Structure 1
């Protein structure tokens, strides 16, 4: 059975855990963009609270396929994201090892959101030692006939984990806060646990 999942910006930890546990995944390049999801946002833990980072896109209110969604660079959001990421993690034990790669990915300024997310995915697969085969779809799969395992929007910032393969993250050391913050970006895991991140997943 074909497993289809949405594309994510600096993916959430449960998302990457799910991918690591799979043999092959198809990222939906042809679904319409959905607002207020991980497709163009992630969450990091800063000195004061959990902070969302959102990539602005053009015409996000319209029904436009993911592989056609353009990033809006009218505002210097890259500067804002980079400042927030470094403020959150520059004192963490492992951020310095990943910092140049994350910086380069953000500052390449690709035209399309999917291209940015795929650059991030390639980075994640490498540093987390994930050998899952990850593909892009070339047409929209509705899944109406039960021929696919549809994971699109199942891992969502406003939803509980409803798939049996996805559980709340196990706590790991974090730099800020007295209580463990779940549903964060892989940036938090890498910065705080470094080479143990793949074992954690």
Structure 2
């Protein structure tokens, strides 16, 4: 088994799952890094009626930079807003109705911890995918870890460096295929075929 160090993302992009589900990978989630801004740790991309839409979890700026101590904002109703955006974007997709109750449960979770929120969302996604995968959390920070390091591999600002095949998306007739969006996009459009699709993804 190879040890793989992965970042803890908010409803991660599809390519992240291609690494997470590697059968020979022992997954360790990084929780002791300094929180990097403008990454998938507190944002996810979905396909809205006007194209790509970023949903960003607002942070409570309390001075800490350690990811495991990062708190989400309690002043903004971001959970309700994010769920409304997802529902609006995917309510006409083939499988949204099938998964709606489970997906809504992601946003009913009560925790101000970003890490706890993201991990709970992941557990719900794994239930929807009808699969299990064990993982552990890091217990300290290594600048140059012995494990395969994917902490900086997934960019929210640049094109993906994974090869992903086109599939039908609700608004693709209007804007074309948007690659490597949130796992939410794949689930709502591919449903039970999502795991099969994930396993076709290759690193460039």
Q: Distance in 2 between matches of 1:126 and 1:158?
A: 29
| Cα displacement (A) at 1:126 | 2.7
Higher percent of residues as strand = 2
Q: Deviations over 1:29-63 (max 9, x none)?
A: 11111110000000000111110000001128x55
Aligned counterparts, 1:93-108, within 5 A: 93-108=94-109
What are structure 2's unaligned runs of at least 5 residues? 199-204
1:186 aligns with 2:183: yes
Q: Specify which of 161, 166, 171 is matched with residue 166 of structure 2.
A: 171
The answer as to whether partners of 1:6 and 1:39 remain within 8 angstroms in 2 is: yes
- The equivalent of 2:148 in structure 1 is 149
What is the root-mean-square deviation of aligned Cα atoms in Å?
A: 1.7
Aligned counterparts, 1:39-188, within 5 A: 39-59=41-61, 64-143=65-144, 147-162=146-161, 167-178=162-173, 179-188=176-185
TM-score calculated relative to the size of structure 2: 0.88
The answer as to whether partners of 2:8 and 2:29 remain within 8 angstroms in 1 is: yes
**Greater than 4 Å deviation, 4+ residue runs:** none
| Count of residues in correspondence between the two structures | 194
The answer as to whether partners of 1:20 and 1:130 remain within 8 angstroms in 2 is: no
Q: Distance in 2 between matches of 1:161 and 1:40?
A: 18
| Cα displacement (A) at 1:188 | 0.3
Q: 1:130 to 1:141 in 2, by over 3 A?
A: farther
| Cα displacement (A) at 1:160 | 4.2
| Cα displacement (A) at 1:168 | 2.6
| Cα displacement (A) at 1:161 | 4.3
